[in-house]
Amino acid sequence: MSSYVITGVSRGIGFEFVRQLSENPANVVFGLVRNKAAVDSKVAAEIGRKNIHIIQADTTDPEALKNAAEYVSKKTNGTLDYIIANAALQAKTALVGFDTLSSGPKALEQDLIDHFRVNTIGAVHLFNIFVPLILRGQAKKVIAISTGISDTEMTLKADIFQATAYSISKAALNMAIAKFSAVYREKGVLFMAICPGAVDTGSLQIETEEEGKLAMAMFGKFKEYSPSFQGPTRPEDAVKSVLALVNKATVDSGYAGVFLSHTEGKPYL
């Protein structure tokens, strides 16, 4: 049996992690969400397996995370095998760059703080609170879902000016992973950040024609970065690929603390 804690499982990639990992009845999957009632209903309707536990926990709330860890601990006898820090904020400010955002310094500051709070600090709290369970687990793997656009090389290759706060917060997340690894590698815990590629989850929730145009411009940048890029993949395929890497990677085989694409190579797309 393997046990998994995954954040942000209400939709998109997180929901798909729950679906795939719960396929093995010997696994127990704990999904952390902000609206338990809604996700319980969705899981019951679309997956319907008894080895899934949905727990109310906003990842920016350390008390909620502590309660979640207590719940998990009771179910697993104080152990945990895997953490997947998947929850993230990517606001629609991602569609434009600093030149546009500079017109509202206060709003820009708040946007940076909001992304940092969810994408970086939320993961840091999650890791600190659950690591005692991980240390008593078998697999001892802690994964952060990151993104290629947190890589300066990708950004500079096609002057990708979009996704400012998101990219900055994920670059900080990659460093947090390295710092956690620096503490826990010697205790046998793998900390690793993985980019799942571009995945069709509708996370930007495009509503207007103008937003559609800006999103197309961002995809144009992705194509400029990687001319073979054909558009986003399905969550099913992305999650399968990320999990293959999670299963393969170990502390002793050179993966401790690194940030990699799910393909292990570049380009990310």
Please enumerate in sequence order all residues whose Cβ is within 8 A of that of 86, keeping only pairs 6 or more positions apart, or say none: 6, 7, 8, 9, 13, 14, 17, 145
Q: Total binding residues for ligand NAP by CB under 6 A?
A: 27
Upstream peptide bond of 267 is cis (omega within 30 degrees of 0):
yes
CB 197, min distance to ligand NAP, A:
7
Hunting for tokens 């687990």 — which residue is that?
Answer: 137
- Interface mask toward ligand NAP for 192-231; x: CB under 6 A: ---xx-xx-x-x----------------------------
Hunting for tokens 């994964």 — which residue is that?
Answer: 143
12 binds ligand NAP per the rule CB under 6 A: yes
31 binds ligand NAP per the rule CB under 6 A: no
**Binders of ligand NAP among 108-127, rule CB under 6 A?**
118, 122
**Binders of ligand NAP among 155-194, rule CB under 6 A?**
none
Compute the Cα dihedral for 2, 11, 200, 60 and give only its sign.
Answer: negative
Q: Which of 59, 93, 120, 226 binds ligand NAP (CB under 6 A)?
A: 59
Q: Which parts of the chain are beta strand (E)?
A: 3-7, 28-33, 52-56, 82-85, 141-145, 190-195, 259-261
Which residue has the closest beta carbon to ligand NAP? 12
Q: Which of 2, 11, 40, 73 binds ligand NAP (CB under 6 A)?
A: 11
Catalytic residue numbers?
A: 166, 170
Is the distance from CB of 264 to CB of 198 less than 8 angstroms? no
241 binds ligand NAP per the rule CB under 6 A: no
Quick one: tokens of 82? Answer: 């895997």
Q: Which of 8, 137, 257, 267 binds ligand NAP (CB under 6 A)?
A: 8
Quick one: tokens of 148? Answer: 């290629």
In 3D space, the residue among 91, 78, 89, 82 whose CA is nearest the CA of residue 17 turns out to be 82
User: Please, which residue, 79 or 199, has the CB nearer to ligand NAP?
Assistant: 199
Q: Which of 43, 80, 89, 193 binds ligand NAP (CB under 6 A)?
A: 89
241-252 as b/e: b if 16+ CB within 10 A? bbbebbeebebe
SS3 96: coil
Q: Which stretch binds ligand NAP (CB under 6 A): 3-11, 99-107, 157-165, 221-229?
A: 3-11
User: Please, which residue, 24 or 35, has the CB nearer to ligand NAP?
Assistant: 35
Binding site for ligand NAP (CB under 6 A): 7-8, 10-14, 34-35, 58-60, 86-89, 118, 122, 145, 147, 195-196, 198-199, 201, 203, 232
